[in-house]
Amino acid sequence: MSVFTRRDGILHVESVALPAIAARFGTPCFVYSRAALEAAYRAFDEALAGRDHLICYAMKANSSLAILDVLAQLGSGFDIVSGGELARALAAGADPGKIVFSGIGKTEFEIRTALEAGILCFNVESAAELARIARLAADLKKRAPVSLRVNPDVDPMTHPYISTGLKENKFGVAYEDALRLYRDAAASPHLDVAGLDFHIGSQLTDVAPFVDAFDRVLDLVDTLAREGIRLRHLDIGGGLGIRYRAEQPPEVADYVRAMLAQLGDRPHKVLLEPGRALVGNAGLLLTRVEYLKPGAHRNFAIVDAAMNDLMRPALYDAWHDIAPVVQRSSAKQRYDVVGPVCESGDFIGRSRDLAVAEGDLLAVMSAGAYGMSMSSNYNARPRAAEILVDGGAMHQIRARESLESLYAGERRLPR
Ligand code: LLP
């Protein structure tokens, strides 16, 4: 299903024409489709039907309240990585009993707040963290539900993808240490051994590394069961890729089927932490061409969105399709589409063939994940507005930041 369609040459999101959004809310702005978001969630949910499961949306991908709200209404849980994300999830109406807390640097304050909120599980990433959680739970006279994030050390020579599940990565506990840590946890009166989790990387476009990783950790799960340490859930992480350009990631159903085949008839509840796969292709960044700057070596299309709005091209050399909102019949020229920020790395897309003129609108596609959530105020640029389209309705779900808000928390020195 595509919710991004052209009608009479004009790009629409569901039934709303993008020029109408620009006219009403200005640019740059992120535009999301509720239908696309819901379809992406349902693809996971339906693939897991018949199996006890919980989708914990990795909200770092896009933590705007309305996005969380739409997913929470569908029954989604959340994967959080900070006290800030916990506060956002609760403000959006999330059920704390559906929240898992990942991340290698959980502070005492964050752990205490999450214990008091009654989250589903801590995804523990080190022995030191496990000890800290046990101590804080004892202070609060609680038992903390824990899962160990096991690092399966999936071989990068076989699967050369960006990976977080390798020995040299900072995430998770080493496979060899996991058994001992589970025994420690099971012996603690303040820890409730709930599950096991792993997450091997992001934007994976092949199921093989997922299956390899699951295969490895399932050995551990079986060993634990033989010792009488029975886990309630297995959290298979996130990381399923999306199509930005020519990638051909597995269908959600195929990925889930492969994982469930590995699991077999083991009784565990399955948790997943998809981020990008839920929101990435449900959103775009709408921007306007401020200037055209032809040159002897390169032509630049200077737009009003920049690396502070969408950091992925500058940070990862990531590709996002750039589509004119209204098609022109004039000849295309090759442009670097760049923002106004004072860095040569501030580009949205390089060497794009476009027929554009000053004032034209461009849609930067696949910007729903790791767009707004990674934005900054660099160059004292207010963060963009966010609009959620629902059928024919456009809802402003975040106002454009005001100039005053940029320095609202700051103080000059006393005179
Ligand atoms: N679970 C854990 C523990 C994670 O660390 C992540 C992402 C996810 C789930 C969700 O992964 P996803 O399904 O979205 O791939 N900023 C980068 C991506 C960083 C991903 C960090 N961890 C980007 O823009 O490509």
Q: Which of the four pLDDT bands, split at 50, 70 and 90, describes residue 174?
A: very high
The arithmetic mean of pLDDT across residues 326-342, rounded, is 97
List, for residues 369-383, the tens digit of each pLDDT value.
999 999 999 999 999
pLDDT at 16 over 70: yes
What's the confidence (pLDDT) of residue 166?
74
Percent of the chain residues topping a pLDDT of 70: 98
Position 70 pLDDT exceeds 90: yes
For the chain, what percent of residues have pLDDT higher than 90? 94
pLDDT at position 1, please?
A: 62
- Give the tens place of pLDDT for each residue, 295-310: 999 999 999 999 999 9
| C-alpha of residue 237 to centroid of ligand 1, in Å | 9
**Among 60, 76, 80, 162, which is best to mutate for testing ligand 1, by the most ligand atoms less than 8 A from CB?**
60
Q: What is the mean pLDDT of the chain?
A: 96
pLDDT at position 160, please?
47
| Pocket lining: 312 vs ligand 1, CB cutoff 6 Å | yes
Residue 44 CB contacts under 8 Å (≥ 6 apart), including other chains = 55, 252, 256, 272, 274, 277, 278
Which ranges of 171-275 would DSSP assign to H, the alpha helix? Answer: 175-187, 208-226, 252-263
Contact by Cβ (8 Å): 272, 237: yes
Under CATH, which architecture does the 34-278 domain have? Alpha-Beta Barrel (3.20)
Taking residue 334's Cβ as centre, other Cβ atoms within 10 Å add up to: 11
Write the pLDDT tens digit of every residue in 108-161.
999 999 999 999 999 999 999 999 999 999 999 999 999 999 999 885 444 444
Domain(s) labelled CATH 2.40.37.10 in the chain stretch across 4-32+280-407
Instruction: Please indicate whether residue 89, judged by its CB atom, sits closer than 6 Å to ligand 1.
Output: no
Question: What count of residues does the chain have?
Answer: 415
| pLDDT at position 159 | 46
- Which of 79, 276, 317 to probe ligand 1 with, by most ligand atoms within 8 A of CB? 276
Atom of ligand 1 nearest to the CA of 311: 24
Candidates 2.30.330.10, 2.60.40.2310, 3.40.140.10, 2.40.37.10; correct CATH number of 4-32+280-407?
A: 2.40.37.10
Per-residue pLDDT averaged across 173-179, rounded?
94
Crossing angle, helix 127-139 and helix 108-117, to 10 degrees?
60
pTM of the model: 0.97
pLDDT recorded at residue 289: 98
Q: For residue 162, what pLDDT band results from cuts at 50, 70 and 90?
A: low
275 Cα: distance to centroid of ligand 1 (angstroms): 6
Judge if the beta carbon of residue 151 lies within 6 A of ligand 1.
no
Q: What is the mean pLDDT of residues 381-399?
A: 98
Q: 190 CB under 6 A from ligand 1?
A: no
Give start-end residues of each CATH 3.20.20.10 domain in the chain. 34-278
Ligand 1 and 40: CB distance under 6 A: no
Residue 285 — pLDDT band, cuts 50, 70, 90? very high
pLDDT of residue 164: 73
Q: How far is residue 239's CA from residue 67's CA, in Å, rounded to a whole number?
A: 19
Cβ–ligand 1 contact at 371 (below 6 Å): no
pLDDT at 58: 98
Q: What is the pLDDT of residue 206?
A: 93
pLDDT of residue 153: 86
Task: Inform me whether the pLDDT recorded for 248 exceeds 60.
Answer: yes
Please give the distance, rounded to the nearest whole angstrom, from the Cα atom of residue 239 to the centre of ligand 1: 6
The residues near 273 (Cβ < 8 Å, ≥ 6 apart) are: 56, 57, 58, 79, 100, 102, 197, 199, 235, 236, 237, 238
Residue 33 pLDDT: 98
Q: Collapsing DSSP states into helix, strand and coil, what is residue 168?
A: coil
Q: Would you tell me how many other CB atoms lie within 10 Å of the CB of residue 303?
A: 29
pLDDT exceeds 80 at position 167: no
Q: Which residues are catalytic?
A: 342
Range name among 163-172, 211-220, 333-342, 364-373 with the lowest pLDDT average: 163-172
